[in-house]
Structure 1
Amino acid sequence: MSESTADATVLVVDDEAEVADVYALRLRNRYQTETAYGGQAALDRIDDDIDVVLLDRRMPDVAGDEVLAELRERDVSARVIMITAVDPDFDIIDLPFDDYLCKPVEKEALVAAIDQQLAARRYDDRLAEYLELTSKLTLLEGEKQPQALEADERVDALQRRVNRLKAEMDDALVEFEDTGAAFEQTGRGSE
């Protein structure tokens, strides 16, 4: 796992080589970039040296959803951003991605999403989960009618979890009056 943005390695996975190469080209001045032209190539390449995976969802050899499931099963530490032309539907609630971007994605949005995931890796799991769940809620709110959202109990459960995580994080921050107290409490303060 890389500590700085410049040292971060981003793996771009798409079965269309031109698409993968364009994204890698856009990012190479900011991150170390690699490409994998398909799901199986991604599974063959991914290890803990990869910090963020940009994963296409529709690929003919091994679909992005299957690659994602395999990565989570292997407990690979890379953050996964689905980057796809597939419009989000309620099925995204159960997918363990960290963020979801719909193609086409401008460079600024791509860099912001990657930087957010790199930052999330440095904090506790609650922040990472909060970012994942709020991404899903935002996607669904943009794609679905309010009545459809209200009718789906999974969306209600998702919203409750987001609210609970936000409250937990707010409570954790309130415990410390200032940054110095936070560092002292965690044993990171100067001695």
Structure 2
Amino acid sequence: MSGPDSTADVRTLVVDDEQEVADAYALRLRDYCDVETSYSGEAALSVVDSSPVDIVLLDRHMPGMSGDDVLSELVERDYYGRVVMVTAVDPGIEVLDMPFDDYLCKPVEREDIRAVIDQQRQILAYETLGKYFRAEAKRAVLDTELSGADPEQAGYGEIRERATRLERRTRRLLTDETVLDQFDAVSREEL
């Protein structure tokens, strides 16, 4: 990480059918986070399927597959990240049932879009940290209990792989790793 509030490693996808708008938001995020653009809902889903994306900035009103449709599809695909609607569509009562994480009305200033990326990074980092702690605690207990046994029994390989994957993502998103050090310092073995 490059600093106490670093978002440089956050992978952000800007989705807007108006190429100039998507590119303008991406330009505002350049040198702030790892940013990619998509100009349609279908292209956005392809990016999410092919590479890890932490935060999606999603326009609601797009031809073909709307932002609302993309949001529903992300839920169907168990997308593990944060979704921020960035749109000119005035929110109505229907937003109560929509599973987005934040809603910004266009136009969005550079400072505001960067602030929302940082807020969503922090939320995702701590959500991932909790999942990592659960997986790593199980792995550590199994390490102790299964010593000498087949490490692939009872899903041990899966939990080990999940813990490793979650740890990498947590370290990439979390700016203060002391909480990881404190977790590692706790003895989970029999004395």
Question: Matched residue of 2:71: which SS?
Answer: helix
Specify the SS of the correspondent of 1:59.
Answer: coil
Equivalent residue number for residue 112 of structure 1: 115
Cα deviation per residue 1:101-151 (whole Å; 9 max; x = unaligned)? Answer: 0000001111111111110012249xxxxxxxxxxxxxxxxxxxxxxxxxx
Give the whole-Å Cα distance in 2 for the aligned partners of 1:11 and 1:104.
17
When residues 187 and 32 of structure 1 are mapped into structure 2, their CA distance, relative to the original with a 3 A threshold, is closer
Secondary structure of residue in 2 paired with 1:123: helix
Asked which structure has the greater RCO (Cα within 8 Å, sep 6+), the reply is 2
Partner of residue 19 from structure 1, selected from 21, 25, 34 = 21
Which position in structure 2 is the counterpart of 1:31? 33
Where does residue 84 of structure 2 map in the other structure?
81
Q: What stretches of structure 2 of length at least 5 have no aligned partner?
A: 1-5, 129-178
Counterpart of 1:58? Answer: 61
Q: CA deviation at 1:9?
A: 1.1
Give 3-state SS (helix, strand or coil) of 1:46's partner: helix
Aligned residues: CA RMSD: 2.2
Larger Rg over CA atoms: 2
* Aligned residue number for residue 162 of structure 2: none
After TM superposition, give the deviation of residue 190 of structure 1 in Å: 6.5
Other-structure match for 1:10 = 12
1:46 is the counterpart of 2:48: yes
CA distance in 2, matches of 1:53, 1:109: 15
Q: Secondary structure at the match of 1:33?
A: strand
Q: Which amino acid aligns with 1:20?
A: A
Match of 1:96 in 2: 99
After TM superposition, the score normalised by the length of structure 1 is 0.63
Aligned residues: 131
| CA distance 1:89–1:79, shift in 2 (3 Å) | same
Report percent identity of matched pairs.
56
Extract unaligned runs of 5+ from structure 1. 126-182
Paired position in structure 2 for 1:67: 70
Q: Deviations over 1:48-78 (max 9, x none)?
A: 6111100000000100000000001101112
Partner Cα separation in structure 2 for residue 32 and residue 187 of structure 1: 29
Aligned equivalents of 1:19, 1:49: Cα separation in 2: 23
CA distance in structure 2 between the partners assigned to 1:7 and 1:123 by the alignment = 15
Q: What is the TM-score with the length of structure 2 in the denominator?
A: 0.63
Change (3 A) 1:124 1:45: closer
